[in-house]
């Protein structure tokens, strides 16, 4: 059976494949959530199966946990792991300082807790995720369901006077009903267009009662691996800049791509 991936999926795949070189035997590895992170989990599963890689995976969502188990990765909880060697995750945006907006897939809370509990965080992305200033992607914030409309009003009020280009706040829906996170919370998507000062923003927004966490990851990411549709990858390090360029042969094995026709 032959599969044709779009350039964007190839870009995600090669970024994920490149990231596996940082995963070594015995590591406790945080497994991100989303379509790029799913490639990583599949690539790691292949290494576990074919090369006997021995890792423990700490998933950041029930979706990722299920996928990891399906591909043969041993899954443990964060409480069992306590501290991780490495977390690899996708992103919705990253800037030149490797600050991120995450949570497009609704898993920002577990993702942030797991990444923060790791010696190192590597982001895997296609080049479209790079921005000069964060905020073009709507910033997700996780709110508890109790009084969420009041929380939303408080958020809207707090946006007035902040250095932003947009101020629209929307409850994330799943079809006709509000979206629920793995923690049983809702997500508010903040259409800010441009966040002038991400540090201030994060501090101020997290002070509002009812807000559990926001999707800004500041000073968390150490490396960004950018994949391109032609198989090229670049590894950027927060301290050293561009540290590696590589080209990954795109071999379509039925093992990795088997579920694409589902
Ligand atoms: C999930 C996330 C994802 O990492 C982010 O949404 C990127 O997803 P994708 O790799 O599918 O573009 O933060 O909460």
Average pLDDT per 10 consecutive residues for the chain, totaling 262 residues = 81 98 98 98 98 98 98 98 98 98 98 98 98 98 98 98 97 98 98 98 98 98 98 98 93 61 42
Q: What is the CATH number of the domain that holds 198?
A: 3.30.70.260
Distances (CA, A) of 146 to 64, 83, 103, 150, 186: 27, 32, 21, 9, 10
- Could you tell me if residue 241 is left (phi over 0), alpha (psi between -120 and 50 degrees) or otherwise beta? left
pLDDT recorded at residue 252: 63
Structure-block tokens of residue 193: 């267009």
CA distance 88 to 22: 9
Atom of ligand 1 nearest to the CA of 106: 14
For atom 1 of ligand 1, the residue with the nearest CA is 105
For atom 5 of ligand 1, the residue with the nearest CA is 91
For atom 6 of ligand 1, the residue with the nearest CA is 104
Q: For residue 207, what are the domain limits?
A: 139-214
Query: How far, in Å, from the CA of 178 to the mean position of ligand 1?
Result: 19
Atom of ligand 1 nearest to the CA of 38: 10
pLDDT recorded at residue 4: 79
Structure-block tokens of residue 211: 């807000």
pLDDT recorded at residue 262: 40
For atom 7 of ligand 1, the residue with the nearest CA is 91
Query: How far, in Å, from the CA of 78 to the mean position of ligand 1?
Result: 20
Whether residue 151 sits in one domain with residue 122? no
Residue 1 lies in a domain: no
DSSP per-residue letters across 109-167 = HHHHHHHHTBS-EEEEEEGGGB-SSTTSSPEEEEE-STTHHHHHHHHHHHHTTSSBS--
Query: How far, in Å, from the CA of 168 to the mean position of ligand 1?
Result: 21
Whether residue 182 sits in one domain with residue 127? no
For atom 10 of ligand 1, the residue with the nearest CA is 36
Bridge partners of 170, per DSSP, are 189
pTM: 0.95
Among all residues, which ones are annotated catalytic? 111
What is the CB-side half-sphere exposure of residue 155 using CA atoms within 13 A?
31
Query: How far, in Å, from the CA of 106 to the mean position of ligand 1?
Result: 8
pLDDT recorded at residue 29: 99
List all residues whose CB is within 6 A of at least one atom of ligand 1: 32-37, 89-92, 102-108, 111
Whether residue 88 sits in one domain with residue 46? yes
Residue 123 lies in a domain: yes
Best residue among 90, 115, 122, 220 to mutate for probing ligand 1's pocket (most ligand atoms within 8 Å of CB) is 90
pLDDT recorded at residue 218: 98
Query: How far, in Å, from the CA of 147 to the mean position of ligand 1?
Result: 27
Atom of ligand 1 nearest to the CA of 215: 13
pLDDT recorded at residue 261: 43
Residue 178 lies in a domain: yes
Q: How many domains does the chain have?
A: 2
Residue 2 lies in a domain: no
Residue 95 lies in a domain: yes
Whether residue 116 sits in one domain with residue 229? yes
């Amino acid at each position: 059976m032959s599969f044709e991936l779009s350039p964007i999926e190839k870009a995600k795949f090669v970024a994920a494949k490149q990231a596996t070189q940082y995963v070594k035997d015995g590591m406790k590895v945080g497994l991100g959530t989303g379509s790029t992170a799913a490639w990583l989990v599949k690539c790691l599963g292949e290494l576990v199966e074919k090369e006997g890689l021995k890792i423990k995976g700490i998933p950041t969502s029930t979706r990722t946990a299920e996928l990891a188990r399906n591909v043969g990765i041993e899954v443990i909880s964060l409480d069992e792991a306590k501290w991780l060697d490495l977390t690899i995750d996708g992103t919705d945006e990253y800037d030149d300082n490797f600050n991120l907006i995450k949570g497009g897939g609704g898993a920002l809370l577990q993702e942030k807790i797991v990444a923060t509990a790791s010696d190192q965080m590597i982001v895997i992305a296609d080049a479209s995720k790079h921005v000069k200033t964060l905020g073009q992607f709507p910033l997700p914030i996780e709110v508890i369901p109790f009084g969420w409309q009041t929380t939303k009003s408080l958020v809207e009020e707090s946006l007035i006077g902040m250095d932003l280009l947009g101020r629209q706040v929307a409850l994330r829906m799943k079809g006709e009903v509000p979206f629920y996170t793995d923690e049983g919370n809702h997500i508010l998507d903040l259409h800010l267009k441009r966040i002038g000062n991400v540090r201030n923003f994060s501090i101020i927004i997290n002070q509002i009662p009812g807000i559990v966490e926001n999707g800004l990851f500041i000073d968390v990411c150490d490396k960004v691996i950018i994949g391109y549709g032609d198989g090229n990858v670049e590894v950027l390090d927060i301290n050293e800049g561009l540290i590696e360029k590589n080209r990954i042969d795109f071999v379509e094995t039925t093992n990795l791509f088997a579920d694409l026709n589902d």
